[in-house]
Amino acid sequence: MDKRLTGLVAAVFTPMCEDGSLNLAQVPSIVEHLVRTRINSIFVCGTTGEGPSLSSEERRATAAAYVEAATGKLPVIVQVGHNSLAESRGLASHAQAIGADAISAIPPIYFKFEAIKTLIDCLAEISSAAPKLPLFYYHIPSMTGMNFDMVEFLRAGGRRLPKLAGIKFSDSAIPKYQAAVEFENRRFDVLFGSDDMLLSALCAGAAGAIGSTYNFAGPLYHRLIDAFDRGDLDEARKYQALSVEMVRIFRRYRIHPALKTAMKLIGLDCGPSRLPLVTLTPEELQAMKKELAGIEFFDWALPKE
Protein backbone atom coordinates (compact mmCIF):
# COMPACT_ATOMS: atom_id res chain seq x y z
CA MET A 1 0.00 0.00 0.00
CA ASP A 2 1.97 2.98 -1.30
CA LYS A 3 -0.70 5.64 -0.70
CA ARG A 4 -2.51 7.00 2.32
CA LEU A 5 -5.64 5.09 3.28
CA THR A 6 -8.62 7.41 2.87
CA GLY A 7 -12.35 7.36 2.23
CA LEU A 8 -14.78 4.64 3.24
CA VAL A 9 -13.40 1.24 4.19
CA ALA A 10 -15.99 -1.53 4.54
CA ALA A 11 -15.48 -3.95 7.42
CA VAL A 12 -16.79 -6.90 5.45
CA PHE A 13 -18.88 -9.82 6.62
CA THR A 14 -17.80 -13.45 6.45
CA PRO A 15 -20.60 -15.15 4.47
CA MET A 16 -21.79 -18.48 5.84
CA CYS A 17 -24.10 -21.29 4.82
CA GLU A 18 -27.08 -22.20 6.97
CA ASP A 19 -25.06 -24.98 8.61
CA GLY A 20 -22.45 -22.44 9.72
CA SER A 21 -19.78 -23.40 7.20
CA LEU A 22 -18.15 -20.72 5.06
CA ASN A 23 -19.93 -19.61 1.90
CA LEU A 24 -17.02 -17.96 0.13
CA ALA A 25 -18.71 -18.25 -3.26
CA GLN A 26 -20.62 -15.10 -2.19
CA VAL A 27 -17.44 -13.03 -1.81
CA PRO A 28 -17.08 -11.86 -5.47
CA SER A 29 -20.66 -10.52 -5.43
CA ILE A 30 -19.96 -8.64 -2.19
CA VAL A 31 -16.82 -7.10 -3.66
CA GLU A 32 -18.60 -6.06 -6.86
CA HIS A 33 -21.32 -4.40 -4.78
CA LEU A 34 -18.70 -2.48 -2.78
CA VAL A 35 -16.97 -1.33 -5.95
CA ARG A 36 -20.33 -0.17 -7.34
CA THR A 37 -21.02 1.83 -4.18
CA ARG A 38 -17.59 3.54 -4.34
CA ILE A 39 -16.05 1.92 -1.27
CA ASN A 40 -12.30 2.60 -1.18
CA SER A 41 -10.94 -0.48 0.64
CA ILE A 42 -12.04 -3.52 2.64
CA PHE A 43 -11.19 -4.80 6.12
CA VAL A 44 -11.40 -8.59 6.51
CA CYS A 45 -11.90 -10.80 9.60
CA GLY A 46 -12.49 -8.00 12.06
CA THR A 47 -15.39 -7.74 14.50
CA THR A 48 -17.94 -7.42 11.68
CA GLY A 49 -16.36 -10.39 9.93
CA GLU A 50 -16.58 -12.48 13.12
CA GLY A 51 -12.84 -13.07 12.96
CA PRO A 52 -12.52 -14.11 16.63
CA SER A 53 -15.18 -16.82 16.06
CA LEU A 54 -13.41 -18.35 13.06
CA SER A 55 -10.69 -20.97 13.12
CA SER A 56 -7.31 -19.90 11.75
CA GLU A 57 -7.92 -22.12 8.73
CA GLU A 58 -11.24 -20.37 8.09
CA ARG A 59 -9.62 -16.98 8.49
CA ARG A 60 -6.95 -17.83 5.94
CA ALA A 61 -9.61 -19.07 3.50
CA THR A 62 -11.72 -15.94 4.00
CA ALA A 63 -8.75 -13.61 3.54
CA ALA A 64 -7.68 -15.45 0.39
CA ALA A 65 -11.18 -15.27 -1.09
CA TYR A 66 -11.42 -11.52 -0.53
CA VAL A 67 -7.91 -10.82 -1.84
CA GLU A 68 -8.61 -12.85 -4.98
CA ALA A 69 -11.93 -11.10 -5.60
CA ALA A 70 -10.61 -7.62 -4.84
CA THR A 71 -7.24 -7.67 -6.61
CA GLY A 72 -7.05 -4.73 -8.98
CA LYS A 73 -10.27 -3.29 -7.57
CA LEU A 74 -9.93 -2.58 -3.84
CA PRO A 75 -7.05 -2.70 -1.33
CA VAL A 76 -7.51 -5.39 1.33
CA ILE A 77 -6.54 -5.09 5.00
CA VAL A 78 -6.54 -8.41 6.86
CA GLN A 79 -7.13 -8.45 10.63
CA VAL A 80 -4.72 -11.03 12.08
CA GLY A 81 -5.07 -10.53 15.84
CA HIS A 82 -5.46 -13.66 17.96
CA ASN A 83 -5.07 -14.71 21.59
CA SER A 84 -2.08 -16.78 20.43
CA LEU A 85 0.78 -14.73 19.04
CA ALA A 86 1.94 -17.81 17.14
CA GLU A 87 -1.42 -17.94 15.38
CA SER A 88 -1.25 -14.18 14.71
CA ARG A 89 2.16 -14.56 13.13
CA GLY A 90 0.87 -17.37 10.94
CA LEU A 91 -2.10 -15.29 9.82
CA ALA A 92 0.14 -12.29 9.13
CA SER A 93 2.57 -14.38 7.08
CA HIS A 94 -0.35 -15.81 5.11
CA ALA A 95 -1.77 -12.33 4.46
CA GLN A 96 1.54 -11.24 2.96
CA ALA A 97 1.85 -14.43 0.89
CA ILE A 98 -1.60 -14.06 -0.72
CA GLY A 99 -1.03 -10.42 -1.66
CA ALA A 100 -2.99 -8.49 0.97
CA ASP A 101 -2.23 -4.78 1.05
CA ALA A 102 -1.94 -4.38 4.83
CA ILE A 103 -2.55 -6.12 8.13
CA SER A 104 -4.30 -4.99 11.27
CA ALA A 105 -4.26 -6.58 14.70
CA ILE A 106 -5.64 -6.51 18.17
CA PRO A 107 -3.21 -7.93 20.75
CA PRO A 108 -3.92 -11.07 22.79
CA ILE A 109 -6.75 -10.01 25.10
CA TYR A 110 -7.49 -12.92 27.45
CA PHE A 111 -4.60 -11.94 29.73
CA LYS A 112 -5.05 -8.19 30.16
CA PHE A 113 -1.98 -5.96 30.43
CA GLU A 114 -1.46 -2.32 31.29
CA ALA A 115 1.74 -1.24 29.54
CA ILE A 116 1.93 0.25 26.06
CA LYS A 117 5.34 -1.40 25.79
CA THR A 118 3.64 -4.81 26.08
CA LEU A 119 1.21 -3.86 23.33
CA ILE A 120 4.09 -2.83 21.08
CA ASP A 121 6.00 -6.02 21.92
CA CYS A 122 2.97 -8.03 20.76
CA LEU A 123 2.57 -6.01 17.56
CA ALA A 124 6.29 -6.31 16.84
CA GLU A 125 6.03 -10.09 16.99
CA ILE A 126 2.99 -10.11 14.71
CA SER A 127 4.37 -7.69 12.13
CA SER A 128 7.72 -9.48 11.98
CA ALA A 129 5.92 -12.26 10.11
CA ALA A 130 4.76 -9.82 7.41
CA PRO A 131 7.67 -7.36 7.13
CA LYS A 132 6.53 -5.95 3.79
CA LEU A 133 3.00 -5.01 4.89
CA PRO A 134 1.80 -1.80 6.57
CA LEU A 135 0.41 -2.41 10.06
CA PHE A 136 -2.70 -0.83 11.58
CA TYR A 137 -3.30 -1.27 15.29
CA TYR A 138 -6.95 -2.19 15.94
CA HIS A 139 -8.01 -0.02 18.87
CA ILE A 140 -11.40 -1.27 20.08
CA PRO A 141 -11.57 -0.92 23.87
CA SER A 142 -15.22 -1.99 24.10
CA MET A 143 -14.15 -5.47 22.98
CA THR A 144 -10.57 -5.77 24.26
CA GLY A 145 -11.12 -4.11 27.63
CA MET A 146 -7.88 -2.17 27.12
CA ASN A 147 -7.97 1.57 26.48
CA PHE A 148 -4.48 2.90 25.88
CA ASP A 149 -3.63 6.51 25.05
CA MET A 150 -3.27 6.40 21.28
CA VAL A 151 -0.96 9.40 21.12
CA GLU A 152 1.45 7.66 23.49
CA PHE A 153 1.06 4.49 21.43
CA LEU A 154 1.90 6.31 18.20
CA ARG A 155 4.87 8.04 19.82
CA ALA A 156 6.37 4.78 21.08
CA GLY A 157 5.16 2.59 18.23
CA GLY A 158 6.47 4.97 15.60
CA ARG A 159 9.96 4.39 16.96
CA ARG A 160 9.69 0.63 17.38
CA LEU A 161 7.43 -0.61 14.58
CA PRO A 162 8.94 0.18 11.17
CA LYS A 163 5.75 -0.62 9.23
CA LEU A 164 3.27 1.08 11.56
CA ALA A 165 0.88 2.93 9.25
CA GLY A 166 -1.84 3.96 11.69
CA ILE A 167 -4.81 2.91 13.77
CA LYS A 168 -8.30 1.56 13.27
CA PHE A 169 -9.82 3.78 15.96
CA SER A 170 -13.07 2.08 17.02
CA ASP A 171 -13.97 4.33 19.92
CA SER A 172 -16.34 7.29 20.25
CA ALA A 173 -13.88 9.52 22.17
CA ILE A 174 -13.55 12.35 19.65
CA PRO A 175 -10.95 14.44 21.57
CA LYS A 176 -8.70 11.38 21.85
CA TYR A 177 -9.29 10.64 18.19
CA GLN A 178 -8.39 14.17 17.11
CA ALA A 179 -5.20 14.10 19.18
CA ALA A 180 -4.13 10.92 17.40
CA VAL A 181 -5.02 12.34 13.97
CA GLU A 182 -2.94 15.47 14.56
CA PHE A 183 0.07 13.66 16.08
CA GLU A 184 3.34 14.61 14.38
CA ASN A 185 1.67 16.67 11.67
CA ARG A 186 -0.79 13.91 10.70
CA ARG A 187 1.96 11.36 10.20
CA PHE A 188 -0.32 8.33 10.59
CA ASP A 189 -3.61 7.20 9.04
CA VAL A 190 -6.08 7.16 11.93
CA LEU A 191 -9.24 5.60 10.56
CA PHE A 192 -12.42 6.29 12.48
CA GLY A 193 -14.56 3.29 13.42
CA SER A 194 -17.92 4.58 14.72
CA ASP A 195 -20.21 4.97 11.71
CA ASP A 196 -22.92 6.88 13.55
CA MET A 197 -20.38 9.57 14.52
CA LEU A 198 -18.69 10.01 11.14
CA LEU A 199 -19.59 13.70 10.89
CA SER A 200 -17.95 14.39 14.25
CA ALA A 201 -14.84 12.59 13.05
CA LEU A 202 -14.76 14.61 9.83
CA CYS A 203 -14.87 17.78 11.90
CA ALA A 204 -11.96 16.39 13.93
CA GLY A 205 -9.88 15.84 10.80
CA ALA A 206 -10.72 12.30 9.66
CA ALA A 207 -9.60 11.42 6.14
CA GLY A 208 -10.81 7.81 6.30
CA ALA A 209 -13.21 5.59 8.20
CA ILE A 210 -13.74 1.84 8.64
CA GLY A 211 -17.24 0.61 9.36
CA SER A 212 -19.89 -2.09 9.11
CA THR A 213 -22.71 -0.01 7.68
CA TYR A 214 -20.57 1.08 4.74
CA ASN A 215 -21.29 -2.39 3.34
CA PHE A 216 -24.89 -1.48 2.58
CA ALA A 217 -25.25 2.27 3.14
CA GLY A 218 -22.28 3.64 1.26
CA PRO A 219 -24.41 6.03 -0.82
CA LEU A 220 -25.73 7.70 2.35
CA TYR A 221 -22.24 8.32 3.70
CA HIS A 222 -20.97 9.61 0.36
CA ARG A 223 -23.75 12.21 0.48
CA LEU A 224 -22.74 13.08 4.03
CA ILE A 225 -19.07 13.50 3.06
CA ASP A 226 -19.93 15.51 -0.07
CA ALA A 227 -22.12 17.86 1.99
CA PHE A 228 -19.35 18.29 4.57
CA ASP A 229 -16.74 18.96 1.88
CA ARG A 230 -18.83 21.76 0.37
CA GLY A 231 -19.49 23.28 3.79
CA ASP A 232 -23.19 22.40 4.00
CA LEU A 233 -23.31 21.24 7.63
CA ASP A 234 -27.10 21.27 7.77
CA GLU A 235 -27.23 18.78 4.91
CA ALA A 236 -24.43 16.69 6.43
CA ARG A 237 -26.27 16.57 9.77
CA LYS A 238 -29.41 15.37 7.99
CA TYR A 239 -27.55 12.39 6.56
CA GLN A 240 -25.79 11.66 9.84
CA ALA A 241 -29.16 11.70 11.59
CA LEU A 242 -30.35 8.97 9.21
CA SER A 243 -27.23 6.96 10.05
CA VAL A 244 -27.88 7.40 13.77
CA GLU A 245 -31.47 6.19 13.42
CA MET A 246 -30.40 3.26 11.27
CA VAL A 247 -27.86 2.13 13.87
CA ARG A 248 -30.45 2.59 16.65
CA ILE A 249 -32.70 0.18 14.78
CA PHE A 250 -29.91 -2.37 14.44
CA ARG A 251 -29.16 -2.13 18.15
CA ARG A 252 -32.75 -3.08 18.94
CA TYR A 253 -32.17 -6.39 17.13
CA ARG A 254 -28.71 -7.39 18.48
CA ILE A 255 -26.30 -5.15 16.64
CA HIS A 256 -23.86 -7.58 15.00
CA PRO A 257 -26.38 -10.18 13.76
CA ALA A 258 -28.67 -7.33 12.66
CA LEU A 259 -25.90 -5.77 10.58
CA LYS A 260 -25.21 -9.07 8.87
CA THR A 261 -28.92 -9.58 8.23
CA ALA A 262 -29.08 -6.17 6.53
CA MET A 263 -27.01 -7.62 3.71
CA LYS A 264 -29.79 -10.12 3.03
CA LEU A 265 -32.25 -7.25 2.81
CA ILE A 266 -30.25 -5.67 -0.03
CA GLY A 267 -29.94 -8.97 -1.90
CA LEU A 268 -26.55 -10.22 -0.67
CA ASP A 269 -27.32 -12.99 1.80
CA CYS A 270 -24.31 -13.49 4.10
CA GLY A 271 -26.05 -16.22 6.06
CA PRO A 272 -26.31 -16.71 9.81
CA SER A 273 -24.07 -15.41 12.55
CA ARG A 274 -21.91 -17.80 14.49
CA LEU A 275 -22.47 -18.45 18.19
CA PRO A 276 -22.21 -16.78 20.62
CA LEU A 277 -23.85 -14.24 18.28
CA VAL A 278 -27.51 -15.18 17.81
CA THR A 279 -28.97 -14.88 14.32
CA LEU A 280 -32.22 -12.93 13.94
CA THR A 281 -35.38 -15.00 13.76
CA PRO A 282 -37.60 -14.66 10.67
CA GLU A 283 -40.00 -12.59 12.80
CA GLU A 284 -37.22 -10.28 13.92
CA LEU A 285 -35.99 -9.92 10.35
CA GLN A 286 -39.43 -8.81 9.16
CA ALA A 287 -39.85 -6.41 12.07
CA MET A 288 -36.43 -4.87 11.42
CA LYS A 289 -37.18 -4.61 7.70
CA LYS A 290 -40.37 -2.70 8.52
CA GLU A 291 -38.50 -0.29 10.80
CA LEU A 292 -35.82 0.31 8.18
CA ALA A 293 -38.49 0.97 5.56
CA GLY A 294 -39.91 3.56 7.94
CA ILE A 295 -36.73 5.64 7.61
CA GLU A 296 -36.65 5.04 3.81
CA PHE A 297 -33.56 2.85 4.10
CA PHE A 298 -34.29 1.06 0.84
CA ASP A 299 -34.50 4.37 -1.02
CA TRP A 300 -31.15 5.79 0.08
CA ALA A 301 -29.00 2.76 0.99
CA LEU A 302 -28.70 1.27 -2.48
CA PRO A 303 -27.01 2.99 -5.43
CA LYS A 304 -29.21 4.37 -8.16
CA GLU A 305 -29.02 2.33 -11.34
Query: Would you tell me how many other CB atoms lie within 10 Å of the CB of residue 157?
Result: 21
Distances from the Cα of 300 to the Cαs of 108, 218, 221, 223, in angstroms? 39, 9, 10, 10
Please give, one letter per residue, the 3-state secondary structure of 258-296: HHHHHHHHCCCCCCCCCCCCCCCCHHHHHHHHHHHHHCC
Q: How far apart are the C-alpha atoms of 243 and 238, rounded to whole Å? A: 9
Under a CB-based contact definition with an 8 Å cutoff, are residues 76 and 101 in contact? yes
Under a CB-based contact definition with an 8 Å cutoff, are residues 42 and 9 in contact? yes
Catalytic position from the list 137, 138, 177, 253: 138
Catalytic position from the list 110, 112, 137, 168: 168
CA-wise closest residue to 241 among 296, 192, 176? 296
CA-wise closest residue to 191 among 83, 79, 84? 79
Q: What's the start-to-end Cα distance of the chain, in Å?
A: 31
Q: What are the residues whose beta carbons fall under 8 Å from the beta carbon of 34, sequence distance 6 or more?
A: 10, 12, 42, 74, 215, 218
- Active-site residue flag, 138: yes
Active site residues: 138, 168
